[in-house]
Amino acid sequence: MAKKVTAKKEAAAPADKPLSIKERLFADRFLIHGIGRQAAIEAGYKDGAGTMVVASRLLDKPNIKAYLEARTTKIFDKLELTQERVMKEYARIALSDIRAYFTTEGELKPLHELDDDAAAALSSVETDELFEGHGDLRHQVGVTRKIKMWDKKGALDSICKVMGWNAPEKKELTGKDGTPLIPQPDLSKLTDEELRVMAQIKRKLNVEHI
């Protein structure tokens, strides 16, 4: 009778286990663009049908998770990037007032006279010097200044989205004939392992949205 051989399941690396060179390179590349499969390829893992599975396994390792969290926290701390600060910057744009950029005489204020809120909502400033004449007779006759502000509506939309103030969007999933409007992916070419990974991801997303 043939002896049944069972493959040993690889033990999960503890969170404090040092990363290998490839694992660290993978994590660093993932921090740049957030695409697991691409990060795996850039770190030197084989590019093929199973690359997505490799990336998923790497991102699931406790030591890589800990490394990513530590690096992200360090970056946020260095930039002083917090949820409160991000919302404050959104608010500066969303609640900006065009009158803050002009004097009582209707002249555009110099940049150094703008308060922090007005300056944060400003996207760019253009200055055009106007001249007349030619050669030695050429002289400046004026200056035109233009200001451009960040998208006020976009900032308001972002605040509403973060705060959950938007009404649920109604989406049509099928056409008049009952066929899906969004093409369904072809899963027939995926391996059993890739299908299991996709199922795990789907379950995780469903849990997070409960």
- Residue 76 predicted with pLDDT over 90: no
Is residue 66 assigned to a domain? yes
Calculate mean pLDDT across residues 35-42: 91
Residues 69 and 110 in one domain: no
Q: Within this chain, do residues 99 and 42 fall inside the same structural domain, yes or no?
A: no
> Is residue 173 a contact partner of residue 182, using CB atoms and an 8 Å limit?
yes
The number of folded domains in the chain is 2
Q: Given a cut of 50, is residue 9 above it in pLDDT?
A: no
The span from the CA of 210 to the CA of 189, in Å, is 31
pLDDT in tens, 103-118: 999 999 988 999 999 9
Give ∠ CA 171-202-182 in degrees, rounded to 5: 35
- Clarify whether residues 44 and 29 are in a common domain: yes
Shared-domain flag, residues 19 and 58: yes
Do 49 and 109 lie in a common domain? Answer: no
Q: For residue 150, what pLDDT band results from cuts at 50, 70 and 90?
A: very high
Distance CA 194, CA 54 (A): 10
Residue 18's CATH number: 1.10.10.1400
Query: Where does the pLDDT of residue 171 fall: very low under 50, low under 70, confident under 90, or very high at 90 and above?
Result: low
Residue 145 lies in a domain: yes
Residue 112 is predicted with a pLDDT of: 92
**What is the model's pLDDT at position 32?**
86
For 47, other C-beta atoms within 10 Å of its C-beta total 13
* pLDDT at residue 179, as a whole number: 63
What is the C-alpha radius of gyration for the chain, rounded to an integer number of angstroms?
28
154: containing domain: 85-159
In 3D space, the residue among 208, 19, 101 whose CA is nearest the CA of residue 200 turns out to be 208
Confidence of residue 119 (pLDDT cuts 50, 70, 90): very high
Listed in order, strand segments (DSSP E) in the chain are: 122-132, 139-149
Evaluate if residue 13 carries a pLDDT over 90: no
pTM of the model: 0.46
- Residue 10's pLDDT band (cuts 50, 70, 90): very low
Q: Report the sign of the C-alpha dihedral through residues 112, 113, 117, 120, in that order.
A: negative
pLDDT > 90: percent of the chain:
32
Residue 187 domain-assigned (yes or no):
no
Residue 176 in this model has a pLDDT that exceeds 70: no
Q: What is the pLDDT of residue 174?
A: 61
Please check whether residues 155 and 91 belong to one and the same domain.
yes
Query: Across residues 7-20, what is the average pLDDT?
Result: 66
**What are the strands, taking DSSP E only, across 105-208?**
122-132, 139-149
Cα 13 vs. chain centroid, distance in angstroms?
Answer: 29
- Angle, in degrees to the nearest 10, between helices 51-59 and 62-79: 70
173 found inside a domain: no
- Compute the average pLDDT of residues 187-202: 65
